Copies of this chain bind each other. A is one copy, B any other.
Amino acid sequence: MKFIDGGVCAATGFLANGIHCGIRKNKDKNDLSMIFSTVPASAAAVYTTNLVKGAPLTVTKAHLQNGTAQAVICNSGNANTCNADGIEIAEAMSRLTADALSIRADDVVVASTGVIGQPLPIAPIAAGIPALVKGLNAHGSEQAAFGIMTTDTKKKEVAVEFTLGGKVCRLGGIAKGSGMIHPNMATMLVFITTDAAIKPAMLQTALSGDIANTFNMLSIDGDTSTNDMVTVLANGLAENDVIEADGEDFAAFMKALNTVTVALSRMIAGDGEGATKLLECRVTGAADKATAKTVAKSVVCSSLLKAAMFGADANWGRVLCAIGYSGADVDVTGIDVAFQSSKGTVKVCENGAGVPFSEEIAKEILLQDEIEILVELKSGTAAATAWGCDLTYDYVRINGDYRT
């Protein structure tokens, strides 16, 4: 398996595009994206667990009942959530897309992201779709990635190449996610495409299994969005034997999927609202997987630790504190903690108590862009990793006046 260019268009038969249609005020920012498979594709999705759900999710869920889709339409700048006419608008987006592409409306995945509770006008979308369709191309991943961004500062796209039964396959995706991101749901908007041939049920199994260890182990700010979803389209143009059950091919597919979702998870965490650094908490020696995950998530979710990491302050007491209130049943007198980055590793806590360390070395380690927080529980062999980011002035600035 190797990383390749092309993002969501890396797989054969996928075209994409992104434009500015007028939902966002800033004309330099794309706000409408489309992904199109030249043939109908197997489709799977996971959705937010928030009871307040964006209208597009309801419509997409209905469309994917039959396990097939051929296009994605997504706008940014408005979440189309908590609006009286939300379903109507989401259905109109699907229909306009389907008509322009000459496909069925129920083969369209529809998504929206942005502010909640403001009516989404259909006019700019209707006016934009012809140009959006006209510009669809096999190098359109980047423009599509721009079109789904909200407070993201960087586009997020990645792709890999792998083989299934001797056939070369590709799997790639684009993502957006910056604030209102928290574990225990499909965490943001992610669109993944592949030319591998796989039955819809197996595609859903792969996706649901994967996100438990990737997007659901990611937190920016503890808020679970109303509009999150992750979808995968698999169009089969790589001509591998169709994956219909567990086995070697399914394992290879899962590995490719996981490589892409971990890469996107790290990109999303590192580009969290206002973030200056990516935090990765790796828990080892846990009695079981659930304990490892609970501890890892609690650490990356702690506002106090996140602020300390912003300040490059090796305040390991906050790591212990976050483990202590996580709800996990751990022996706190057995916990070791170390901070690690490209500048080295510094052990700060052994068996639940502080050990002497150089503040200067710790500072140098914590001043890097990617920080690993290593937690060893010494009570078993289970492990888990969670991703997050630091808490900064800019998080407050961005969210202090988001609507105006």
Q: Given A349-B117, A402-B315, are A180 and B224 also a contact pair (CB < 8 Å)? A: no
What string of 1s and 0s marks CB contacts (under 8 Å) between A312-330 and chain B? 0101111011111100001
Distance A399 CA – B311 CA, assembled complex (angstroms): 8
Distance A389 CA – B221 CA, assembled complex (angstroms): 16
Contact of A353 among B51, B117, B303, B321 (CB under 8 A): B117
Interface residues in A113-127 (C-beta closer than 8 Å to B):
115-118
Query: Quick check: A349 and B82 within 8 Å, CB to CB?
Result: yes
Q: Which residues of B contact A403 (CB under 8 A)?
A: 313, 315
Q: Is A404 an interface residue, CB under 8 A from the partner?
A: yes
Q: Given A303-B399, A402-B308, are A117 and B392 also a contact pair (CB < 8 Å)? A: no
Query: Quick check: B116 and A317 within 8 Å, CB to CB?
Result: yes
Distance A308 CA – B318 CA, assembled complex (angstroms): 26
Size bracket, chain A contacts = 35 or more
Q: Is A99 an interface residue, CB under 8 A from the partner?
A: no
Interface residues in A63-88 (C-beta closer than 8 Å to B):
79, 81-84
Query: Quick check: A307 and B395 within 8 Å, CB to CB?
Result: yes
Q: Which of A313, A315, A397 has the most CB of B within 10 A?
A: A315
Q: Given A324-B226, A393-B393, are A317 and B81 also a contact pair (CB < 8 Å)? A: yes
- List residues of chain A with CB under 8 Å of any chain B CB: 49-53, 79, 81-84, 115-118, 179-180, 182, 185, 221-226, 301-304, 307-308, 310-311, 313, 315-318, 320-325, 330, 332, 349, 352-354, 359, 391-393, 395-404
Q: Give the 4 A-B residue pairs with the shortest CB-CB distance, closest first.
A: A116-B317, A311-B400, A52-B324, A307-B399
